[in-house]
């Protein structure tokens, strides 16, 4: 669930990038920053540490990203840090991405299966989703062995669940509710 803070800040960053003609570059740079923070979770904790002054924390951002980021994005990171919202960065990215996808006719599909889909299965599913929606689709494939078999698809605000785990759950419910 995205917070109102993330929605507001991420949306504001998107509007600024749009005005400056930098939406693609900022999206890529935001992704890089998040990837670095994922690889180094202690860095995000350091930026949120209240015992370190705001000035020292913003200097850490300058040292880490300095000239490699669009100046407004660098200032955005510093603002999040100063306001104590650095933990909202992932949500800001999600809102930015949501706005970007909407403006570019892109839909995101999250496909979860019990085991890794083959490249042919991924390609066939992507083709079907693009034809069905009339949009470019970016597909994220996840593996969850607990699903037993089948595929669960989260696409355009709907969930399509064709997993064996869901079928078993439905069957259990039918059996419990059936009187003999």
DSSP secondary structure of the chain: ---HHHHHHHHHHHHHHHHHT-HHHHHHHHHHHHHHHHH-HHHHHHHH-TTS-HHHHHHHHHHHHGGGS-HHHHHHHHHHHHTT-GGGHHHHHHHHHHHHHHHTTEEEEEEEESSPPPHHHHHHHHHHHHHHHSSEEEEEEEE-GGG-SSEEEEETTEEEE--HHHHHHHHHHHHHH---
pTM: 0.78
Query: Would you give per-residue pLDDT tens digits along the chain (180 residues)?
Result: 789 999 999 999 999 999 999 999 999 999 999 999 999 989 989 999 989 999 999 999 999 998 899 999 999 999 999 999 999 999 999 999 999 999 999 999 999 999 999 999 999 999 999 999 999 999 999 999 998 898 999 998 899 998 988 888 888 988 888 865
């Amino acid at each position: 669930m995205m917070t109102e803070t993330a929605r507001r800040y991420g949306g504001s960053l998107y509007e600024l990038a749009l005005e400056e003609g930098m939406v693609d570059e900022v999206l890529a740079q935001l992704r890089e920053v998040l990837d670095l923070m994922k690889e180094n979770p202690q860095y995000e904790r350091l930026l949120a540490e209240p015992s370190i002054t705001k000035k020292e924390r913003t200097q850490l951002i300058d040292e880490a990203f300095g000239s490699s980021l669009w100046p407004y994005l660098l200032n955005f990171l510093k603002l999040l840090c100063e306001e104590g919202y650095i933990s909202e960065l992932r949500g800001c990215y999600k809102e930015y991405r949501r706005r970007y996808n909407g403006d570019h006719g892109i839909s995101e599909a999250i496909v979860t299966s019990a085991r890794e889909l083959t490249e042919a299965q991924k390609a066939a599913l992507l083709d079907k989703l693009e034809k069905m929606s009339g949009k470019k689709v970016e597909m994220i494939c996840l593996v969850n062995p607990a699903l037993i078999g089948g595929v669960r698809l989260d696409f355009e605000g709907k969930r399509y669940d064709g997993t064996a785990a869901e079928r078993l759950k439905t069957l259990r419910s039918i059996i419990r509710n059936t009187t003999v």
